[in-house]
Chain A
Amino acid sequence: MNAAGDAASNRPGAPLVAAVGLAVGRRQPLLRDVALTLLPAQCWFLLGRNGSGKTTLIATLLGLLPPLGGRITMAPGIADRSGVGFVPQEQRFQQSLPVTVTEFVCLGLSARVAAADRAAHAAAALESMHIEHLARRISGELSLGQRRRVLIARALARRPALLVLDEPTANLDPFGSGQLGADLEHLRADAGMCLLHASHDLDLARRYATHVALVAQGTVRTGPAADMLADAGTHEELGLGKR
């Protein structure tokens, strides 16, 4: 599946999102001097304690909140949102009507997709999450892990260049979490999609992150995953004690 395909229309290798000197917050800056560059085929983990500002940072990077300072540059496909896929936290979905998996995934399709191509886009998204056999099932009746995959498939139906995931492995058992991480890693490696996880899952970050952004004490430290996760300061700031 060409997941990072047509919608984004970005120059190969060009940054999808570049933030310099960014100040983010709703009224008062919660984080200052944020510098972050998201490139295709990177896997970023946004780590931080609850309330540290991860969600606010994501909202600003996605253009949902105006920056309180600094500058954000976005590739055309990101700026017009056609190349952005978003996976919200699953707990918010208590469906009150019988929505089939295919119907749910089709809600993620970009309006630009021709009617004739919609079924193919949805089918490819289901296939990439290995849930094509669930296509006719009612999404609200699935297990937690399956529902999480349906949410990701909805985001993938847009064929995004940047996939933003809010706690994708929360409440999953280690096996389910590992499998989901591996499938996302395939999307990154094969299709060149940039993944941005907001997560508390340090084990997953160790296995799949190429880069880590540590949100703590009113700012964001970024770097290659190997360096960041080996740093004793990272563990301290996450409240895991000294290594």
Chain B
Amino acid sequence: MDEFLFAWSLFHDAWLVALLLALVLPLCGILLVLRHQLFLSAAIGQAATLGIALGIWLGIAPATAPGSSHAESYSLLLAMAAGSLTAVLAMRALSTSGSQLEARSVWVFLAGASLSVLLTSKQPHGLEEVHRLTLSSLLGASSFDVWFAAALLVVILMTAWRRRRGILLWAMDPVTTQVHGGSVVTYDLVLGIGIGVATGFAIHATGLLFAFGLTVLPVLLARRLGPSLRAVLWLAPCLGLATTAVALVVAHLADLPPGQVAVGGLVLLLAVPGVVTGVWRLRSRRGGA
């Protein structure tokens, strides 16, 4: 543990960003799960990656000037813009046509994955950056990222607290929201941008695997454990935070990649109830026989 505390002084920015995102991402994930769009999170993340790759291709992102704060800012802005555009378009499509977006999400995911590599394939640093984003790493955050993540968390919590019933009704039933006098377009825009900014920032700071995993898995786990929607709203970010905190310690002590440990831990936790139930049923059957 002493070693971990010593490492804290070296990696505290990256770890703080991961912990803050572990609270932010499940809150976005709740909306996506309520709209039956689990995979959309991966599509938005891949679109954000494409935004960064586009920046590299255009010569304004880190590959052309590694370590430059301007380049980092452009990279972040492009990731958030691409993520927001994808999320807003998806939210509008869901509200207007009620269509399931599974096929389109897969298309965006695959288009983003292939194009981001193709755009940067002639630039060694660019390709390396795209691989880093895809494979996930929690080691590259700055103090600006910490403040940005903290501000994002505060804004999302305040919005969620003040508008929770309107947001939940919009997520479950946009037509009734409109009948009640709510502006579905405004909800689509504001919440789409919120989801896009959070995902784009998460991609920039932690990579695709952590961003997708922490958006979806804590919500699915909370769904199994929580007896009500209110419980899920609290449980999901708490589970994300707790798992990430444990994962950071384990990953550091065992010298493992922290993003993968966090996501792997959540995947295991999600599988445990199913395995326990299966074993229990098997034993009951054998006992009965």
B-binding residues in A (CB < 8 A) = 62, 64, 80-82, 84, 86, 88, 92-100, 103, 106-111, 138, 158, 164
Contacts and interface: CB of A to CB of B under 8 A. Distances in A.
The interface residues of chain A, by DSSP majority, are classed as: loop
A64 B229 CA distance: 29
Contact of B181 (A82, A106, A109): A82
24 contacts: A62-B179, A64-B178, A64-B179, A82-B181, A86-B175, A86-B176, A86-B179, A88-B173, A88-B175, A96-B33, A97-B30, A97-B33, A98-B223, A98-B228, A98-B229, A99-B172, A100-B228, A103-B229, A107-B165, A109-B165, A110-B180, A138-B228, A158-B180, A164-B179
B139 to A, nearest CB: 34
Given A82-B181, A88-B176, A93-B172, A98 B226 contact: yes
B180 A84 contact: yes
A62 B166 CA distance: 19
Nearest to B164: A107
Contact of A92 (B34, B173, B226): B173
A103 B228 contact: yes
A54 to B, nearest CB: 15
B34 A80 contact: no
Contacts of B178: 64
A99 B180 contact: no
B227 interface: yes
Interface in B148-183: 165-166, 168-169, 172-173, 175-176, 178-181
B230 interface: yes
A47 to B, nearest CB: 21
Contacts of A138: 228
B36 A96 contact: yes
Contacts of A100: 227-229
B235 to A, nearest CB: 11
Contacts of A82: 181
A162 B31 CA distance: 30
B181 A97 contact: no
Contacts of B273: none
A83 to B, nearest CB: 11
Nearest to B30: A97
Interface in B188-233: 219, 223, 226-232
Most chain B CB atoms below 10 A, which of A81, A97, A138:
A97
Contacts of A95: 172
A86 B180 contact: yes
Interface string B18-36: 0000000000001001101
Contacts of A164: 179
Given A62-B179, A93-B173, A111-B166, A98 B227 contact: yes
A84 B223 CA distance: 32
Contacts of B98: 92
A81 B229 contact: no
A77 B223 CA distance: 38
A100 B173 CA distance: 16
Nearest to B169: A107
Contacts of B33: 96-97
Contacts of B30: 97
A84 B179 contact: yes
A88 B172 CA distance: 12
A82 B179 CA distance: 9
Contacts of A94: 36
Nearest to B219: A97
B165 A106 contact: yes
